[in-house]
Each structure stands twice: as C-alpha cells, then as structure tokens.
Amino acid sequence: MIPAPTTSFTEPATGERLERTAAALRAHGFTVEIHDTLAAARGRVRELIPAGVSVFTGASETLRLSGIEADLNTSGRYDALKPRAVAMDRATQADQIRRMLATPDVEIGSVAAVTETGSLVIASGSGSQLPGYAGGAARAIWIVGAQKVVPDLPAALRRVEEHCLPLESERAMRVYGTPSAITRLLVLNAEYQPDRGTVLLLREAAGF
C-alpha cells in the first residue's frame, strides 16, 4: 500500500519509495538514474550533454544552487540559449526568442513533484520552459530531489500549491519585486520517444 503524503513535503523519500518511483517512470518510457547526491548528478550532467549542443536551462533552484546552471550557461562548452535570450530585445525579437527556447537540443531543469505512479509535474509562471519539456526539445533532463516524491497526482498538486508556490513567491519578491503565480501546469505521464526524457533522482533533498 502506498503511504499517505507527508504534510511538510520536505522529508526525503526512503530508498524503497525512490525505487518504486524509478520503476514507475521507467515503465512509462523515461530513462531514470538514482544518484546519492546533487554533486554526483552535476557530474553526470557533464557526461550526458555533448559539447556544442544548444542547451536551455529552465528556471530551477536545484540547477542554480548546485552550480549546474553556471556550468551550462557560462563555461563556453555549449550553445547556451538562456544568456542569448536575455541579451536579445524582447520588443523586436520576441518571436525569435520564443522559437529558440521552445526547440533546444537539450532542456534541463527540475520538477515540482514526481509521483510514485510515474508522472512528472512542472509548474510555471511564464511558461517559457514548458514547450521544450513537453516535446519541443530533442532531449530533456530533470534533476529531482528526494523530497519531491509524492504518492500520486493529487498529492503532487498539493505540493505545488502549498509548498512550492510560497517559496517561489518569496524568491520572486526578492529578485523581481513581485510574487509568483501558478499560471501553467504541465503533467508528463509518459515519454514515448526512447531516451528523450531522463530523470536523475537523488537520495537527498534539493531545491524546493
């Protein structure tokens, strides 16, 4: 029997729950690896993404705090799309930015929740990262802390609203001076293209 969801959404899942989640994701077509630490996942990302490809880093505290975002966007090893988009004129190049971010060779980020039944749940305010995750990117990689494992989709949605949104709003107020909002939700229940979607599950907590 699957245990009831935690009310804090901060406690890392047990090894048994991680294995159950990994098995469900694999059954739904995702490639899954379990790593002990975020540092280990950072090293694995370097192995997974070839030099020279276009990479879009979705908004993610996991990527920022781990150093993965800087690895991808400032090393010069990749065609980093986020810094390029930031430098472009949104008034005159909005369509070009939109198309560029929707179809990278690789998009990488995290999720708000992953269910033990094998679904990924991603929340967004702007929606810029969702087209690539949904299918526009040739490959997608998600790095997921153990505290993001929940039993099912209803628990995942509660985690988004009760846990992730307040923390992201607090961050957005510090950075942008305005709170965040859940304007879009993407639920990935399966991946039909072999090796397109890779989930690096962690045994430790990471991000929100």
Radius of gyration of the chain, Cα coordinates, nearest whole angstrom: 16
pLDDT at 7: 54
**Dist CA 120 CA 187 (whole Å):** 6
Q: Which CATH class is domain 15-202?
A: alpha beta
The string of pLDDT tens digits covering residues 182-192 is: 899 999 999 99
Q: For residue 87, what are the CA distances in angstroms to 60, 122, 126, 153?
A: 20, 26, 18, 38
* Residue 20 tokens, joined: 């159950």
Q: For residue 108, what are the CA distances in angstroms to 63, 74, 123, 137, 176?
A: 9, 15, 14, 10, 23
CA 35 to the chain's CA centroid:
16
Judge if pTM exceeds 0.75: yes
pLDDT at 63: 96
Residues 6+ apart with CB under 8 A from 35: 41, 44, 200, 201, 202, 203
Phi and psi, residue 22, nearest 5°:
-60, -40
H or E stretch at 72:
helix 68-74
The string of pLDDT tens digits covering residues 1-44 is: 344 444 569 999 999 999 999 999 999 999 999 999 999 999 99
DSSP string, 59-70: S-HHHHHHTHHH
Q: What is the average pLDDT value for the chain, to the nearest integer?
A: 94
**Dist CA 197 CA 204 (whole Å):** 21
pLDDT at 172: 79
**Dist CA 129 CA 57 (whole Å):** 8
pLDDT at 3: 44
Digitized pLDDT (tens) for each residue of the chain, 208 residues in all: 344 444 569 999 999 999 999 999 999 999 999 999 999 999 999 999 999 999 999 999 999 999 999 999 999 999 999 999 999 998 999 999 999 999 999 999 999 999 999 999 999 988 999 999 999 999 999 999 999 999 999 999 999 999 999 998 888 788 878 888 889 999 999 999 999 999 999 999 999 9
Task: Give the chain's length.
Answer: 208
Q: Report whether 149 contacts 13 (CB < 8 A).
A: yes
Give the residue extent of every domain in the chain: 15-202
Q: 3-class SS at 121?
A: strand
